[in-house]
Amino acid sequence: MSNTSTVHLRPSGRKLDELRAVNVQRNFTRYAEGSVLFCMGETQVLCTASVLEKVPPFLKGKGQGWVTAEYGMLPRATHTRSDREAAKGKQSGRTQEIQRLIGRSLRAVIDMELLGERTIQVDCDVLQADGGTRCASITGAWIAVADAVEGLLSQGVIAQNPIKDSVAAISVGMVNGHPTLDLDYPEDSGCDADMNVVMTGAGRYVEVQGTAEGHAFDRHELNALLSLAEQGIQSLKEKQKAARQG
Amino acid sequence: MSNTSTVHLRPSGRKLDELRAVNVQRNFTRYAEGSVLFCMGETQVLCTASVLEKVPPFLKGKGQGWVTAEYGMLPRATHTRSDREAAKGKQSGRTQEIQRLIGRSLRAVIDMELLGERTIQVDCDVLQADGGTRCASITGAWIAVADAVEGLLSQGVIAQNPIKDSVAAISVGMVNGHPTLDLDYPEDSGCDADMNVVMTGAGRYVEVQGTAEGHAFDRHELNALLSLAEQGIQSLKEKQKAARQG
Amino acid sequence: MSNTSTVHLRPSGRKLDELRAVNVQRNFTRYAEGSVLFCMGETQVLCTASVLEKVPPFLKGKGQGWVTAEYGMLPRATHTRSDREAAKGKQSGRTQEIQRLIGRSLRAVIDMELLGERTIQVDCDVLQADGGTRCASITGAWIAVADAVEGLLSQGVIAQNPIKDSVAAISVGMVNGHPTLDLDYPEDSGCDADMNVVMTGAGRYVEVQGTAEGHAFDRHELNALLSLAEQGIQSLKEKQKAARQG
Amino acid sequence: MSNTSTVHLRPSGRKLDELRAVNVQRNFTRYAEGSVLFCMGETQVLCTASVLEKVPPFLKGKGQGWVTAEYGMLPRATHTRSDREAAKGKQSGRTQEIQRLIGRSLRAVIDMELLGERTIQVDCDVLQADGGTRCASITGAWIAVADAVEGLLSQGVIAQNPIKDSVAAISVGMVNGHPTLDLDYPEDSGCDADMNVVMTGAGRYVEVQGTAEGHAFDRHELNALLSLAEQGIQSLKEKQKAARQG
Amino acid sequence: MSNTSTVHLRPSGRKLDELRAVNVQRNFTRYAEGSVLFCMGETQVLCTASVLEKVPPFLKGKGQGWVTAEYGMLPRATHTRSDREAAKGKQSGRTQEIQRLIGRSLRAVIDMELLGERTIQVDCDVLQADGGTRCASITGAWIAVADAVEGLLSQGVIAQNPIKDSVAAISVGMVNGHPTLDLDYPEDSGCDADMNVVMTGAGRYVEVQGTAEGHAFDRHELNALLSLAEQGIQSLKEKQKAARQG
Amino acid sequence: MSNTSTVHLRPSGRKLDELRAVNVQRNFTRYAEGSVLFCMGETQVLCTASVLEKVPPFLKGKGQGWVTAEYGMLPRATHTRSDREAAKGKQSGRTQEIQRLIGRSLRAVIDMELLGERTIQVDCDVLQADGGTRCASITGAWIAVADAVEGLLSQGVIAQNPIKDSVAAISVGMVNGHPTLDLDYPEDSGCDADMNVVMTGAGRYVEVQGTAEGHAFDRHELNALLSLAEQGIQSLKEKQKAARQG
């Protein structure tokens, strides 16, 4: 594939298996228990983790916690302004799909009993969007949650770390017939099929969401995309680790 | 796997790779251009396809058509009654996710230019739910759409069949550590990881949606699930074909 | 009037005082405590009765139960598709009017103290509509409620039958100047005045709702319509009885 | 019945067949084309008729007009304050039922072709409620509409009077076993069965809405109620006439 | 200024510093604990004060009360009909702004601890609007609240009067370059800048809301407007006092 | 007052007439025509100006433009998380009040005819809130609008600059009896009375919004607050100018 990637040009000049530059700013805002500005190229997502000393009704008195997420996009995060969801009075299906995905992905690596009867409420707000916002939200949110949990541990609120593993996400897709890593907006809107893959630090799948409106993909292509994603997520895992230590 | 399936008992007594009984009633209601009651075991979905001589605003004047879907569940389709979405005044995130999935799946096998400037509006309403309602919706809806298109062809409204291929969907999951086909409700609610796979008649992937809240799955398990799904979808494709000829 | 009915032709060929064919399928779905598909000609309504072990706030601790109803119509139950109320985010005035009528009609024949502190929640969902859906909903719902109550009695949850009488409903109207029984859609949309009558098995009125947009009716016509309705309801009462014994 | 009415005491001291005092103030507010404060005893409804030079979409270009109504109740019109519907963000089922009834009743006596392509929008807002607000709304609204139409005629906007007849409404009910005219709030909330009757000046029925939650009524009682209502409406018709001439 | 006011003509013929005629009808409706129809010229607002024996959640158990307000305008209070907010399903930003202002203004002169754990819920409903409805609402609402409090005192529900002072409001504005008192609708819609001033009986400011879309005003003009408002409010204070004694 | 300000301590250590540090980052995001991160101390607002080639319906064909604003706060911009307005399905009264204020303030300094038939849509989203967010929104939004207009001029879309003057806003309040400039959150939530003042670069008032729940203020205090605000706004005007040149 490295062969291919030297001849096939991406709009950004990246190689087919090349991630965008990742930039992580922890403590971006000061009030949230975890606050991370996570950037992949021009995509910028502010991920905050808030610790709330309550759980949803269905968990009351069960001795376990909850992790949930909400997602939003500032109206002018995008090339053309989109309507403000608060003004329209409802969240779109896309927004709900994404925030449910973020919540599930984080819950997959957190032990709810060790967390205790409290909620970590994650907010992912896209300040600037250039493709891959749901993946950036997951990868960045994990860092914010880890920061919030570190606070709970250092304050002695909880005794044992409920975070079982890291989790990160990346998009891959068939662009002009080539398996391509980390699609930016021009690639995403023009591709035949794309897939969002969420994996744990241990390399297990939490979510695999492949979709093809234009060109249904075969098993061979699926495998190529899965391999490319795995490689990208290994790299993101290192960057999460580095950011947390930085 | 056939070895395993003889010893591992499912609540329904099915083998691990065994579909539920499929039952298809075409022309179930009389006004819709296509109307199919699609049953997989105790899951019953009424799928109607309505032909509307208009397209959404973003397609006006572009010489192509549209296929879209809505999904609903009758309040007492389930073991315990759930609130009526019309009374609550909003569709849940789950509902929106499912209806978007149905629409994308159908669009993947239909040529929008051959369809012409009209919309096929699909409605999937679950009369009884025992797991797998989104997959049954897709598989049944394809038959309803095919019936509606046949009407357009026989009336001479369109000259050439816009349906490029069939499409069907099935759920698979890791239940008690075993890859299992076509989960019913007890299996679905207790499984570690499950996946909904949508494939064309030609055996290409339209959607792959795997999710693991409890137990992240590895590449080996993913492959086993994909193979099982492929086998199930081949069987569904035969049943679609038989129903259309019946 | 029998004289007239032989010469005046209805679109369906029925006589002026002739009901449509009634068809009742009990246990149509399997989870609800009562589940009836009630058909009058081409009008098909799925009526379920769910037993909920709670009462609305205004009845808490008062030692009595409640019966309430919701009504919906599948988008393509009708000749042309109507918008899904859940997607629009609100129930129409017509829907609310009908579901309030169904609830009041059923409460008129049920002893709330004998029911005890629980709710029977009725859902009437129209699968196919050819006029008279609110009447079919009431007549069918009574059977579903009776089935649900029979379950409560046989399980010993309640000791004494709270159902005091049966209740059924029928539409009548002035069509081309003739009092006509059980209007179907073409008759209903073209008539001068129509009336929905709800009566108990003992022949007493629970609801009388006559309305005339086109042609206000006089006392003589009102009396003819009331007599016709009474006759139709006696017939429906027999069919309810037969279905419950079947 | 006159015999009975002397011995049976109503809370207000009225006889069983006695209307409450009717008071009509035309031109109550100054901007509406018709504006009437209509009072029946302590029930006070402000009825305005606004002439709008447009019709709803389904009537565009058909050469005919429309009459429609909205209904509201000020939060403290009643003994205890009820929530403001604008603040709750939705109109109740009861409100929608009433405003649909008012609109139908008025349309029954107005020739839409003579009205021409314009809408008379009626607003009935209850300033004080002591039972019978929907009937007072209809009776008062007719006067407001007649005033608005008079304006159109005197300005030469329309050439011929589209009002075919007057229309008025009254409630009747079985109170303590006696047919009773024009129920006030204490009677309405405690009665066994009540009926709202809408009639034209010529004595024909536009709407008959009888309902019995507590005590289903027989044909004999129904007839007594209808006769009592007819008598009350004749009296209201005289008061409408007098107010219009006053 | 008296000089100027003789030569500069207002549409109403009033002098620049002249209030409109004030008319106060106490006990306008009979159920509310305080009910005042407050008229300034053609602006008519029905202000009711309801005593509710509960407080909002954030005040529970704190031994203090609350005063809050809602505002509405009947659809045809204005020259052309505006949509009914209950039918639209939301209150406009303007409505919310005004009802928040009324509530704050009243709370500024009431001792919440002396009021005790109860709420005075004010409703200001505009029956007819000719400018200055928010100011008339505040001035009239204070009288209604005072009446309601008098009832609590006379019934012995509270021992000490929680009303510390009166409060009233007036609009002023630059009209054709002249500081002008109590703008009516033609003046309000055509003025360069206007200000609503809310003051206590003791002459202290509770709210000052000046706004200039067309013509930003300087400090000198601001001072002139403030002086004019002060003079108007002194006059309103006298009228409030007289009405309460009348 | 300089005397007082040396002895009275503010939580931040600032003098009574001292602004917080102002920090302006232009081009903070890359897609909007104007994009400014405006910070006053810990308050951070992202202000974007989007140029839309359309106007609201009421301005169509009138040869003039429009400037409008929306305001939002990220859920965890504050010390404790507040609910996401998009998830609640409505904007609060406070939000609507603020966005209307921002729009009016900007329109006061822009010539709508020179702007031409287009809209400048401003979005002010608070990333971090420490008091004074509406004032920071106005001051920052003016810079974003100026940047957007500069783009229109340099591209030749408009020929003449429609911006007539700058506009800025500041809060002042009585804190512990002292007139105090630029309140931060601890001061704002504890103060007796506060005022938001919006002024043009030429020193004229666009908006004056003073409010006192706890302590009504007299004319003398009002004057002191107005003077303090004027001084602060002069300073902000310099910073706007410097940022635009930077």
* Nearest CB partner across the interface for A128, out of F29, F77, F123: F29
Tokens of D198: 């809408």
CA E72, E74, E77: angle at the middle one, nearest 5? 115
Helix (H) or strand (E) holding E94: helix E93-107
DSSP state of C11: T
The model's pLDDT over A104-137, given as tens digits with 9 standing for 90+, comes to: 999 999 999 999 999 999 999 999 999 999 999 9
Cα separation, A188 vs E101, whole angstroms: 49
How many Cβ pairs closer than 8 A exist between chain A and F?
93
Output the pTM of the full model.
0.93
* Nearest CB partner across the interface for C204, out of D203, D205, D218: D218
Residues of E with CB under 8 A from a CB of F: 90, 93-94, 96-97, 99-100, 104, 107-108, 195, 199-200, 202-213, 216-219, 222, 226, 230
Cα separation, A132 vs F37, whole angstroms: 24
Asked if the Cβ–Cβ distance from C75 to B30 is below 8 Å, we say no
Asked if residue E35 lies in contact with residue E127, where contact means CB atoms within 8 angstroms, the answer is no
Cα separation, E37 vs E45, whole angstroms: 6
Chains that touch C (3 or more CB pairs under 8 A): B, D
How many Cβ pairs closer than 8 A exist between chain E and F?
92
Minimal CA–CA distance to C212: which of D68, D104, D113?
D104
CB burial of residue A52 (10 Å; 0-12, 13-18, 19+): middle
Mutate to test the interface with B, among A207, A217, A233 (most CBs of B within 10 A): A207
* Nearest CB partner across the interface for B32, out of C44, C76, C95: C76
Helix (H) or strand (E) holding A238: helix A219-245
Q: Does the structure show a pLDDT above 50 at E88?
A: yes
- Mean pLDDT for E55-71 is 96
Question: Rounded to 5 degrees, what are φ and ψ at D14?
Answer: -70, 160
Which residues does chain F have within 8 Å of residue E222's beta carbon, measured at their own beta carbons? 205, 208, 226
- Classified as helix, coil or strand, A176 is coil
Minimal CA–CA distance to D171: which of D187, D159, D157?
D187
Cα separation, A199 vs A178, whole angstroms: 22
In b/e form, how buried is each residue of B206-236, taking b as 16+ CB within 10 angstroms?
A: bbbbbbbbeebbeeebbbbbbebbbebbebb
pLDDT band at A191 (very low <50, low <70, confident <90, very high): confident
Which chain A residue is nearest to residue F46, measuring alpha carbons? A127
Minimal CA–CA distance to D40: which of D24, D21, D27?
D21
Asked if the Cβ–Cβ distance from C211 to D93 is below 8 Å, we say no
Per-residue pLDDT at E4: 45
- Mean pLDDT for F14-32 is 97
Asked if the Cβ–Cβ distance from F209 to E208 is below 8 Å, we say yes
Which residues does chain B have within 8 Å of residue A209's beta carbon, measured at their own beta carbons? 208-210
- Mean pLDDT for F195-199 is 98
Q: Find the Cα–Cα–Cα–Cα dihedral F107, F108, F110, F111, rounded to 10°.
A: 100
Which residues does chain F have within 8 Å of residue A122's beta carbon, measured at their own beta carbons? none
Q: How close is the nearest chain E Cα to the Cα of F88, in Å?
A: 13
pLDDT band at A57 (very low <50, low <70, confident <90, very high): very high
Asked if residue C27 lies in contact with residue C41, where contact means CB atoms within 8 angstroms, the answer is no
Per-residue pLDDT at D4: 45
DSSP state of C9: P
Cα separation, A72 vs D226, whole angstroms: 60
Q: How close is the nearest chain C Cα to the Cα of D30, in Å?
A: 31
Asked if the Cβ–Cβ distance from A75 to F79 is below 8 Å, we say no
Question: Rounded to 5 degrees, what are φ and ψ at D87?
Answer: -75, -35
- Classified as helix, coil or strand, F69 is strand
* Nearest CB partner across the interface for B206, out of A94, A208, A216: A216
- Classified as helix, coil or strand, C196 is strand
Cα separation, D136 vs D139, whole angstroms: 5
Full DSSP string of B78-89: SSS----HHHHT
Q: Does the structure show a pLDDT above 90 at A215?
A: no
Full DSSP string of D39-98: EETTEEEEEEEEEES---GGGTTSS--EEEEEEEE-TTSSSS----HHHHTS--HHHHHH
Cα separation, E65 vs D119, whole angstroms: 47
Q: How close is the nearest chain E Cα to the Cα of F3, in Å?
A: 25
DSSP state of E176: T
Cα separation, A177 vs A172, whole angstroms: 12
- Classified as helix, coil or strand, B112 is helix
Q: Side chain identity at E224, as an amino acid letter? A: A
Cα separation, B106 vs B120, whole angstroms: 10
DSSP state of C177: T
DSSP state of A110: B
ipTM of the assembly?
0.94
Mean pLDDT, chain F, whole residue set: 94
Which chain E residue is nearest to residue F165, measuring alpha carbons? E216
- Classified as helix, coil or strand, D204 is coil
Tokens of C118: 């629980």
Q: Percentage of residues in chain E with pLDDT exceeding 90?
A: 90
Q: How close is the nearest chain D Cα to the Cα of E79, in Å?
A: 5
Question: Rounded to 5 degrees, what are φ and ψ at E167?
Answer: -145, 145
Q: Side chain identity at B109, as an amino acid letter? A: V
Mutate to test the interface with A, among F27, F30, F31 (most CBs of A within 10 A): F31
Q: How close is the nearest chain D Cα to the Cα of C30, in Å?
A: 31
Which residues does chain E have within 8 Å of residue F230's beta carbon, measured at their own beta carbons? 219
Cα separation, A34 vs A124, whole angstroms: 12
pLDDT band at E7 (very low <50, low <70, confident <90, very high): low
Sign of CA dihedral C132, C135, C136, C137: positive
The model's pLDDT over D180-231, given as tens digits with 9 standing for 90+, comes to: 999 999 999 888 889 999 999 999 999 999 999 778 999 999 999 999 999 9
Q: Does the structure show a pLDDT above 70 at A55?
A: yes
CA C62 to chain centre: 29
- Classified as helix, coil or strand, A9 is coil
Q: How close is the nearest chain B Cα to the Cα of A30, in Å?
A: 31
Per-residue pLDDT at D8: 60
Minimal CA–CA distance to A123: which of A74, A165, A185, A63?
A74
Asked if the Cβ–Cβ distance from D29 to E77 is below 8 Å, we say yes
Minimal CA–CA distance to D170: which of D130, D141, D204, D136?
D136
Cα separation, B211 vs A106, whole angstroms: 12
The model's pLDDT over D3-31, given as tens digits with 9 standing for 90+, comes to: 444 456 799 999 999 999 999 999 999 99
Cβ–Cβ contacts within 10 Å for residue F160, how many?
10
Sign of CA dihedral B209, B213, B219, B220: negative
Tokens of B109: 């096998």
Per-residue pLDDT at C4: 45
How many residues would you count in chain E? Answer: 246
Q: Percentage of residues in chain A with pLDDT exceeding 70?
A: 97
The model's pLDDT over D23-62, given as tens digits with 9 standing for 90+, comes to: 999 999 999 999 999 999 999 999 999 999 999 999 999 9
* Nearest CB partner across the interface for E217, out of F195, F205, F217: F205
Tokens of B92: 């849940």
Q: Side chain identity at A195, as an amino acid letter? A: M
- List chain B residues with pLDDT less than 50: 1-6
Distances (CA, A) of F42 to F22, F133, F136, F246: 10, 10, 11, 22
Which residues does chain C have within 8 Å of residue B89's beta carbon, measured at their own beta carbons? 89-90
The model's pLDDT over A141-179, given as tens digits with 9 standing for 90+, comes to: 999 999 999 999 999 999 999 999 999 999 999 998 999
The model's pLDDT over F25-75, given as tens digits with 9 standing for 90+, comes to: 999 999 999 999 999 999 999 999 999 999 999 999 999 999 999 999 999
Chunked into runs of 10 residues, chain C (246 residues) has average pLDDT values of 54 95 98 98 98 96 97 97 95 96 97 98 98 98 98 97 98 94 93 94 97 89 97 98 92
The model's pLDDT over D104-148, given as tens digits with 9 standing for 90+, comes to: 999 999 999 999 999 999 999 999 999 999 999 999 999 999 999
Which residues does chain F have within 8 Å of residue E106's beta carbon, measured at their own beta carbons? none
Beta bridge partners of F192: none
Asked if residue F180 lies in contact with residue F172, where contact means CB atoms within 8 angstroms, the answer is yes
- Mean pLDDT for D53-75 is 97
* Nearest CB partner across the interface for D204, out of C204, C218, C226: C218
Asked if the Cβ–Cβ distance from C216 to D210 is below 8 Å, we say no
CA B82 to chain centre: 22
Asked if the Cβ–Cβ distance from F107 to E205 is below 8 Å, we say no
